[in-house]
Structure 1
Amino acid sequence: MAEEASQLQVDPASAAVSTTVVVIGAGPAGMTLATLLQHSGVPCVVLERRSREHVAQRQRAGIVETRAVRMFDSWGLADRVLGGIPYDGILEIRVDGCSHLVSDRDGSDGPVARLCPQQVLVQKLTETFLEGGGDLRFEAADVSLHDLTGDRATVSYRTPDGTPHALACDFVAGCDGDRGVSRTAVPDGVLTAHAFDHGIGWLTVLADAPPPAHPLLATGPHGFAAHFPRGPHASRYYLQCPPDDTPDDWPEQRVWDTLRTRLGDPALGSGPITDREVFRLRSLVHDPMRHGRLFLVGDAAHIVSPMGGKGMNLALYDADLLARAVRDFVRDGDDTALDTYSARCLRRVWNDQEFSHWLTRTLHDAGDADPFLRHLALARLDRLFHSPAAARAFAELMTGLDPSGGAVPVLEPFGDLSARGGD
């Protein structure tokens, strides 16, 4: 199977190397898609503009949610590509210094979420793909897409020494993020962009400091803060800040003093800060997620507020759907899943956008917002902490499982949400 997936042919008409799928981008979305295609015996080539070392060190998301773990397990790849440790399903939320433990266990059977940093997942996926004979080309420069609505697409690029190359393919998977070349290859007017600026900034800090017992979210009159594990001896912290702040506005002493105040932990252990940056919370959805032979995957199609940890997991979901759709087409000549790819992905995207928006507003409004909004947010949190029904709905959304328990029919109206046990 791996040998078949690595075989390429030369297209005599164009002198371009021919394959089935060109995957642009070697992050979580691209490497998941490439590995699943390889596992299905579908030939593909991955192009990445950065070096392997750079990609392997990018630190972002840290939790692979339950649905994504079970997705990898369904492919027989969970043990091979998922590092980290099983997540016990307990999230700590501190409100005005008072601690509440919330579970995201929804009662279903099967593997659970894992604390697995993005770079670990990408490294393991890359190793698996290459060991299987996969074709992964780093430092591919000047990537451009052509003939996306023709009989076959072409992707051109240059190697580090400047040599031009071209790949003819049936499909292009744009997995190169919000600022990549894939989405810019779509003509103006084809995609509708739905954008939202939350008006909130976060300072994110990576430090060699003791991780918390459970992922921790805290809110109070001084603002929002969070503390997440990033390994046995490393932590990532988040601090609400003005969107226009810069890292220079946050010297180390200010970081630790503010964390201790907002987390309600005067004894919080510190350590060397290895990375810090400020970003603005925003949400973005492009519709549709397909143009001709180009399929957008992950951040190339949608950005979600980091609250709730849905960004990387949505990318994994997209990759799974696209891999299965291409497999069905190659193996059976069935293009049904390709034709419904965008609608199926977007249903999940909007569901997770709503949940992330709800959690973002709740935890920030419960801090230093307008008193009326603060009391509304505190009421929502009180309901979460004391209502079993609210807790079950929260667990379902955190876990990432479809209420239907499987494939979602996307060509029918949503219908009565209460009949589905929805939120």
Structure 2
Amino acid sequence: MKFVDETSIHVQAGKGGNGCLSFRREKFIAKGGPDGGDGGDGGSVYLEGDVNLNTLVDYRFQRGFQAQNGQGGGSRNCTGRAGEDLILKVPVGTTVIDEDTEEVLGDITEPEQRLMVAHGGYHGLGNTRFKSSTNRAPRQTSPGKEGEARRLRLELKVLADVGLVGLPNAGKSTFIRAVSAATPKVADYPFTTLVPNLGVVQPHKYRSFVIADVPGLVEGAAEGAGLGIRFLKHLTRTRLLLHLVDMVPPDASDPADNVSIIEDELDRFSPTLWSRERWLVLNKVDLLPEEEREQRCNAVIHDLDWPGPVYRVSALSGDGTKQLCHDILEHLENCWDEERNNPDAAERELAMQRQMQEEARAQIESLRRRKKQNDDDEDDDDFDDDDYDVEVIYSP
């Protein structure tokens, strides 16, 4: 399946049916009076969340959609049939933006949630509506109104509770394989993940959370280097970030410096996302000499002065991952309980997510403009709706 996380479409609601101009004509009934009926309302356009979709690829090639027009009114006060509404299925997690005004029309965050994006035209009135004591034979009617038309930008942000960040080859894909049934590509040579991967982690029966692995960031990502910044918007709905760092990097770089690189890129991309709670995960500790393991891990923690929890794991062997997942679940359940019991906390969380999404949208739009100014001759760039493969797998 191809992964498309952003696309633009044009929607047109149906036109309302015209009112009818008609007079009653029956044998032996003189001056029967007006009997023109109203037209029908035009159909509206809705977006509806569908849990069976995880990509916007259906809207990559077909970009225009129109709801049905309403029928005109008829004689004998017959009202025209209303146009059928058009319902477009989109993945849960889709944000809908008016391209002309940049107004966020809404978020599809629940299955079967509907959002009206174009209102159908109002029906026209038949001449019966204009009858009065002084106008017994009106010849006035009104036409149906045009339906609303909009150019929309659809942005998909995966719905995950936990997001993984780090440099390429920090072991994020191996980690998500170790804790869930997701199977992103891993190998014993350097390469980077190209698309987000989702996995459902179930530390205990009937208790689980969703984790997202996005392409690794590189230094200069905030200026458009690499692929990672394109997918950072998928982390704006997460409650917790795990920062994975390779304790034995192949280029012999300092793990503390590598952590600082990603922290700087997160801060430049979205200060609100950077302020999100983050846990540091020292990965591949099994590759360290046993007599140096504790000393080198403590040195990284000391150099960073990390404010949050720190875990030492080996994603390949699974050492330390079970305790980490248990602690993540406990943390998330505490957050969920607080939101259920405190409406103010739920509102603050929603406001923070909206702020992160606005910052991410502004940053990506700025990079698009900069890219276009720097090279108007190129037809393609890192932010086109290219095809990518994605797989979402749930644990058995």
Structures share fold, TM-score greater than 0.5: no
Normalised by the size of structure 1, how large is the TM-score?
0.24
Rg larger for: 2
Normalised by the size of structure 2, how large is the TM-score?
0.26
